[in-house]
Structure 1
Amino acid sequence: MIENETIKHQLNHRSIRQFKPASLSTEQLTTLYEVARQTSTSMFMQQMTILHVTDEKKRAAVREICHQPYVGANGDLLIFIADLHRNQIIRQQAGNDDGRLHTTDIFLQAVEDTVLATQNVLNAVESMGLGGVVLGSIKNDSQKLIEVLDLPQITFPILGLQIGIPDQEPQLKPRLPLSLMAFENDYPKTMPMNLMPDYDRVVNTYYDLRNANQRVDTFTNQINSDKLNQQVTKRDEIVAALHQQGLALDLNV
């Protein structure tokens, strides 16, 4: 396998959830913003915006939505937003209507821009000797978050990123074997699930030995848990929140 400094950081990725009581410098933040700005963008529409949340009331509100005590605590909180509003203004100033901005296709392209930028920034964070954790939990109540951040129409918060100086050294979390994730040309008709017991044992050992939140668990147990069981949550209201924002209005077609 090829190895260089960039790949070393990527292969050593660990989610950091405890940070020292310090904020990033203006130089560090600017560097991360520039990394996000140079991220690949679908059709060169650049439909992504970052909000650096420093207001303590807003940080506390985001923390409540996420149900995670480290969110908006030490370090810096970034919210990555799928942003079609900026391009809407550009079209309106030219005397054009919104065109396809309200379609699922264009919204998904904005989501792609936003997710790519989030990962790019996290890679840069780790290359700078800092740590971070991606926050999908901001979508626990999308409509409330939109109100907290006072976001305009045809924008939508996709991911959060809590970053800062690490105050923990968690173990590397074991991933699925490559033979279950990477294939040549065709998706296998029969997945080699006989590999799962060995992987479950590795995951179980990881949870048993890790420093924080020790528990006995396996990967297959998690997939068969409430994570995917039939249940109603606030996340099931995401489509309604999208429509309220004027996004993906053709989803019911």
Structure 2
Amino acid sequence: MKITNETLATQLNHRSIRAFAKKPIAKEQLTAIYEAARHTSTSQFLQQFSILRITDEAKRKAISEIAKQDYVGGNGELLIFLADLNRNAKIRQHLGQDIARLQTADLFFQAVNDTVLAVQNALLAAESMGLGGVVLGSINNEPKKLVTVLELPQLTYPILGLQLGHPAQSPQLKPRLPLEFTVFDDKYPADFSLAEFKDYDKLVHQYYDLRDTDRRVDEFTTQIGSKKLAAHKSSRDEIMAAIQDQGLCLD
């Protein structure tokens, strides 16, 4: 028997929305999204994330240029989710305590976990209200520039962006990897053959073939084998330096 309910239906119907109507998200909806993020699971109850709502047009334009995506900063809300160790550092300093642990990779990655989970909760909350959204890893195309644009203090770092709004498109569901490739009992498989991906490649090929925008026809394995994962220099390679410039991961 297939299990279904309203929450599962929302999750299984997820698709990235990149075109939004020129209609504002109601204040009450935005507050509900913030509350969903606020109630996300958090490592050690440290609550190491914050949200920047970007309303300044100059900043929205600068972030769009960094992301190299026109829809970023367009219609709808642009939220930047921060790994935030600054708040707890300030608390410790007020209490006369050192902040050394907050500058370790361990605590930073705990903050990253908090932040990513909050993004997912926020997006699910938005989708449950009939809104749409897209997660923006592209904000880190130019990490150091982004930190400057956002005027971030030490011990904070932008992990992901989230563009939310009223959908102005209804894209197809993109076929995800079947469970046999992502769920294993007790032990990770030692190896697999490329031929095992044949049926999934056909699904992905069909998805791109039928999609009404961006006429690329492609398969999953050919994407993984493409030049985007080949050895090359990228502005995103500055991420670790930008993180350390923020006083994080110093161990």
TM class, shorter-length: over 0.9
Instruction: Measure, in 1, the Cα distance between the counterparts of 2:74 and 2:51.
Output: 18
C-alpha displacement of 1:194? 2.8
What's the CA shift string for 1:89-139, capped at 9, x where partnerless? Answer: 000000111130000000000000000000011111110000000000001
- 1:230 aligned onto 2:231: yes
What's the CA shift string for 1:168-207, capped at 9, x where partnerless? Answer: 0000000111111101111111235432111111101100
Aligned residues: 250
C-alpha displacement of 1:26? 1.3
* SS of equivalent residue, structure 2 residue 209: helix
Instruction: Measure, in 1, the Cα distance between the counterparts of 2:164 and 2:193.
Output: 37
* SS of equivalent residue, structure 1 residue 160: strand
Q: Which runs of 4+ in 1 moved over 4 A?
A: none
Deviates more, 1:108-117 or 1:219-228: 219-228
C-alpha displacement of 1:215? 1.0
The answer for unaligned runs of 5 or more in structure 2 is none
Equivalent AA in structure 2 for residue 194 of structure 1 = A
Query: What is the match of residue 73 of structure 2?
Result: 72
Deviates more, 1:18-27 or 1:78-87: 18-27
What's the CA shift string for 1:25-75, capped at 9, x where partnerless? Answer: 211111111111100000000000000101100000000000000000011
Instruction: Measure, in 2, the Cα distance between the counterparts of 1:227 and 1:199.
Output: 20
* SS of equivalent residue, structure 1 residue 158: strand
Instruction: Measure, in 2, the Cα distance between the counterparts of 1:139 and 1:226.
Output: 20
Query: What is the match of residue 90 of structure 2?
Result: 89
Instruction: Measure, in 2, the Cα distance between the counterparts of 1:150 and 1:99.
Output: 23
Trace 1:53-68 onto structure 2 (pairs within 5 A).
Answer: 53-68=54-69
Instruction: Measure, in 2, the Cα distance between the counterparts of 1:150 and 1:172.
Output: 37
Cα RMSD (Å) of the superposition? 0.9
- 1:12 aligned onto 2:8: no
The two structures have a TM-score, normalised by structure 1, of: 0.97
Query: What is the match of residue 191 of structure 2?
Result: 190
C-alpha displacement of 1:214? 1.3
Equivalent AA in structure 2 for residue 221 of structure 1 = T
Equivalent AA in structure 1 for residue 92 of structure 2 = R
Contact 1:143 1:241 in 2 (8 A): yes
* SS of equivalent residue, structure 1 residue 96: coil
- 1:40 aligned onto 2:41: yes
* SS of equivalent residue, structure 2 residue 101: coil
Deviates more, 1:211-220 or 1:105-114: 211-220
